[in-house]
Amino acid sequence: MVKVLGINGSPRKYGNTAKLLLVALKTAEKLGAETELVHLYDYDIKPCEGCLCDEQTACGYPCAIEDDMKILYDKVLKADALIIATPIYWFNMSSVVKTFIDRLTAFENMIFIDGKSWVEGRVAGVIACGNDSGCIQVIANLYATLVSMGFAIPPWALAYFNKKGDVLENEDVLLDAANVGRAVVLAAQALKSLYKKWYDAELIDFVREIKPVIAKVSEEARIKQKSCRDELIKTIKEKLTLTK
């Protein structure tokens, strides 16, 4: 069975962000998934201290910081998929969501310790909500970060509401949220049967092997393009001379 963890990054457990997340989780349950909802504001999550800046392998799991993140780490490890829902505060995600994401570096950086990000192959979906600009910006930010950590993001795994009023009155957005739940379940089910190691550090040998080939092809392309450009400039100059 697939397990989906819903992350509510809003301080309001009754607001539009929470409502959209619940729609996604209920849809996941309809497809047979087990779900769990956590409200980040219920936990004491301290800021990331950037340990890897001093030494690459200093950051890893378990994280050196003593706080409630250890509870959330356990929940993330037990989940096959995450749906992160955040309100928009000053064109960005809520501070607690940013802190939560930063602290997941302890999982991602395990690639430098035991060769694999501990969240690699898990699925993620994103929901953003706020009556201000920033929804798309935040979704793009989260997408890039989550993929860089090793999460897989399936098609249609996003929903956003950027208007005032009760989101339950907007069925288009509710449908989008429902499809976030559906997408992460279907993707998690598919990925469970696939090879889990998506990022292969050993490819560095192959990369070194093809570097000279890439350099040669690039140089040939540069010379050819320069020749075409020089010929074009020559033709233009000749035409200008004739018109004088």
Token pair for residue 63?
Answer: 């994280």
Determine the Cα–Cα distance for residues 93 and 22; give it in Å rounded to an integer. Answer: 19
pLDDT higher at 193 or 89? 89
> Over 80: is that where the pLDDT of 43 sits?
yes
Q: Region 6-34: what's the mean pLDDT?
A: 95
pLDDT at 58: 84
pLDDT band at residue 196 using 50, 70 and 90 as cut-offs: low
Q: Decide: 106 and 28 in contact? Cβ < 8 Å.
A: no
> Over 80: is that where the pLDDT of 102 sits?
yes
Terminal alpha carbon distance of the chain: 79
Determine the Cα–Cα distance for residues 139 and 85; give it in Å rounded to an integer. Answer: 10
pLDDT at 124: 98
Q: Region 207-226: what's the mean pLDDT?
A: 93
pLDDT higher at 144 or 115? 144
**DSSP H helical segments within the chain, as ranges?**
16-30, 69-78, 95-103, 105-108, 135-149, 171-192, 204-243
> Over 80: is that where the pLDDT of 198 sits?
no
> Over 80: is that where the pLDDT of 229 sits?
yes
Say if residue 13 is exposed, middle or buried (CB neighbours under 10 Å; 0-12, 13-18, 19+): middle
Phi-psi region of 16 (alpha: psi -120 to 50; beta: other; left: phi over 0): alpha
Determine the Cα–Cα distance for residues 70 and 109; give it in Å rounded to an integer. Answer: 16
Q: Please state the separation of Cα 103 from the chain's center in Å.
A: 14
Query: What percent of the chain lies above the pLDDT cut of 70?
Result: 98
pLDDT band at residue 244 using 50, 70 and 90 as cut-offs: low
Span of 11-20, 180-189, 201-210 with lowest mean pLDDT? 201-210
pLDDT tens by residue, 118-169: 999 999 999 999 876 789 899 999 999 999 999 999 999 999 999 889 989 8
**DSSP H helical segments within 31-170, as ranges?**
69-78, 95-103, 105-108, 135-149
pLDDT band at residue 195 using 50, 70 and 90 as cut-offs: low
Token pair for residue 19?
Answer: 């409502």
Determine the Cα–Cα distance for residues 106 and 60; give it in Å rounded to an integer. Answer: 4
> Over 70: is that where the pLDDT of 81 sits?
yes
pLDDT at 164: 87
Radius of gyration of the chain (CA): 24
pLDDT at 194: 79
